[in-house]
Chains A and B, each alone.
Chain A
Amino acid sequence: MSEPQEAALLSKVASEVFAGIIAPALENAPHIQAAEHDVLAKEDVLVRMERELKRALQKTPAERRWVMVIDLRRCIGCHACTIACVAENKLPPGVVYRPVLTEELGKYPHVTYRFLPKPCMQCENAPCTPVCPVHATYTNEEGVIVVDYDQCIGCRACISACPYASRTFDFGINYTDKTVDGLPMMLGSSQAGKYETAGAAFEYGERRERKKEESPIGNVRKCHFCLHRIKEGILPACTTTCIGRATFFGDANDPDSLVSELIAKPNVMRLKEDLGTEPRVYYLV
């Protein structure tokens, strides 16, 4: 076998695809089993982040600095985080806090996908807050940008100012609008609609039922790092549902936290750094 041929073969052997093919054959190998046990013995990052979250909650809010880190190499584009967010916050059609941007790169046959989950960047120098004419959107003492639904007049200046398109407007549409109604015992629009509109959402720890012309309808809405969950010591919905463990959340002011470790890595980047917005969402690339 010539040298180039050997190199080609080695690159194939090293590929994940090939690893997948030969994996069943290696299942019974004792040294592999031992390694697997080690992996299982390792603590899930969610457990660690949950513990760190509770530790952070012992501090005063001003001492905490919530950040999110998203490892793009681990994101498989399943959109579980998007859906979890929609379910957690009972988001209506057209309102999204965490879309996953999907890009196809290259030309056939050298094609790949890149996924970029995009929550609110929770910028330190947020362009969206100073434009609000009524102080309805502001950075809270934990550094999270929030919207006071009862204060917002719905002018949408903040949406226009956001460089990341992280805000959406609630037009008052429901998933069950204009769907047919079923028989009384069946799940028609009236029954499903009841579920959709009567069950309250608990964003910002406030109980809100969805009623016509009442906030958050007519308001601007955005990701708030699931503040209502954090308050109870639970990680944001997008973080706990990430099947690739690509999303990390925690207190960057805690030097021992996982997120502090991650954002100190050289392969970290933030979106549109040139704008000077200083996002609190970091990407590992």
Chain B
Amino acid sequence: MIKKLAYLVGGVTLLFGLWGFYDRFAHGHQNANYGSYVVWGLWVAMYLFFAGVAAGGFMIATLDLLFNIKIFKGTGRVALWGSLVCLVAALISIGLDNGHLFRVWKVYLQGNPFSLLFQMVWGYTLFGIISVLALVLATRQPDSRWLKPLMVVGLVLSFFISGAVGALLGVNASRPFWHVGLFPVQFPVFSLASGAAMMLAAIGFFGRKDDENRAQQLWVLSIASVVLLVVKFYFMWADYSQSMYGNVPMNVQAVRQVLFGEYWWAFWIMQVLIGSLIPLFFLVQRKYATHNHWAAWMGILLLSGYAVARGLIIFPALTVPELEALVHAFSGPHLTFNYFPSLMEWAVTSGTIGIAILGFVIGSEKLNLFSTTPKEA
């Protein structure tokens, strides 16, 4: 039943996405609502989100494939697959955001090593290769002596790629909302939280019925999710309260945008209520946390909250003008400080989500990732 639902949701979202992909390739960025002021929009937010889940998924995979934690036995391969699928979704999202997608090879051959984006592209490339190799080994030769070294390198890379996203934003000294020294530290925590939520959904929906560890896995992941959620809120409280007390106008405006401005509903309803408080309420109760579907749906809610949170990091900082009078200085398309994604942007994101859902479901089925041992597969 759940698989059918997943295929349906994946199919419908991808179908809607196909129109978005067509529009993106036929008309470029013309029908997007981001512009020269709000320079990064929904796709960059979704890239942050998917890349976070990819890094977090790998971190969770190490519990089985590197640290041999008994309770997580058999979850490593599905975590790796989820990580890979999300990496692909992240790269689609950011790739389509580029003005010249087919010039990406220049980053490899004519790149600027001191640019964070250059480092991230190389990081993702290595991370992707290592994830594939680790998945192949974990599936075919789980006793290979190369698996653990690969997982060690992959773990380091997963911290690097998630921290680098924080640094990419944090180095913008002219945007106080992003210019937070701890951003590169916070993002790996966000990633781990996303990875745990993804695994809640994956094990809850698709885990083996006869797996005696399943309930315990869900309980541990629930507790981990709750703890990480609290840590995440602590980080947010620290950022927001310091911004408000510090009273730097650009920073205060950005925080106000989130709390009471254009995006209040996304913050209070989507992120806090649906994406945090409701999952928190159920996941602290063992009976729900160990219930397959309850835990899985809470994982989905957590993921949706994290996706919204990524948007609320990107958009508000950009909707505050660098110079106040810039708002009315010159008028033209894509020269506005207000941002809400266009239908085409939603469609592309829908397609990306569809690819991720279908990719995960088909892969987990064909690769039989939920078997306890590879031999069963």
Given A156-B99, A167-B36, the answer on whether A131 and B324 have CB atoms closer than 8 Å is no
Tell me the bound Cα distance from A173 to B27 in angstroms. 10
CB <8 Å contact, A157 and B117: yes
- A99–B335 alpha-carbon span in the complex (Å): 12
User: Are A153 and B106 in contact (CB-based, < 8 A)?
Assistant: yes
Quick one: closest B residue to A116, CB to CB? Answer: B325
* Listed stretches B167-175, B263-271, B287-295; interface member: B167-175
Across the interface, do A101 and B326 meet the contact criterion of CB distance under 8 Å? yes
In the complex, which residues 86-104 of chain A have their Cβ closer than 8 Å to any Cβ of chain B? 93-96, 99-103
The answer to whether B100 and A219 have CB atoms under 8 Å apart is yes
Contact status A133-B330, CB under 8 Å: no
Q: List chain A residues, Cβ under 8 A from B173.
A: 127, 163, 275
CB contacts (< 8 Å) of B28 on chain A: these are: 171-172, 212-213, 217-218
Interface of A is mostly: loop
B111 within 8 A of A: yes
Type the 1/0 row for B107-149, where 1 means its CB is closer than 8 Å to any CB of A. Answer: 1001110111110010000000000000000000000000000
Interface residues of B in 149-178 (CB under 8 A from A): 168, 171-175
Q: Does A64 contact B (CB under 8 A)?
A: no
The 4 A-B pairs with the shortest beta carbon distances in the complex, nearest first, are: A154-B99, A163-B174, A218-B99, A101-B325
Which residues of A come within 8 Å of B, CB atoms? 82, 93-96, 99-103, 116, 118, 127, 130-135, 151-157, 159-165, 167-173, 212-213, 215, 217-220, 271-272, 275
Partner of A153, one of B39, B40, B99, B168: B99
B117 touches A173 (CB 8 A): no
Which of B29, B106, B324 contacts A134 (CB under 8 A)? B106
The distance in angstroms between the C-alpha atoms of A153 and B95, with both chains bound, is 10
Instruction: Give the contacting residue for B99; candidates A132, A155, A164; CB below 8 A.
Output: A155
Asked if A133 and B107 make an inter-chain contact with CB atoms under 8 angstroms apart, the answer reads yes
Contact A130 B99 (CB under 8 A): no
Q: Which of B32, B36, B334 has the most CB of A within 10 A?
A: B36
- In the assembled complex, which residues on chain A have CB atoms less than 8 Å from the CB atom of B171? 131, 161
User: What's the minimum C-beta distance from A19 to chain B, rounded to whole angstroms?
Assistant: 30
Least CB distance from B313 to A in Å reads 13
Determine whether the beta carbon of B110 is less than 8 Å from that of A151: yes
CB contacts (< 8 Å) of B4 on chain A: these are none
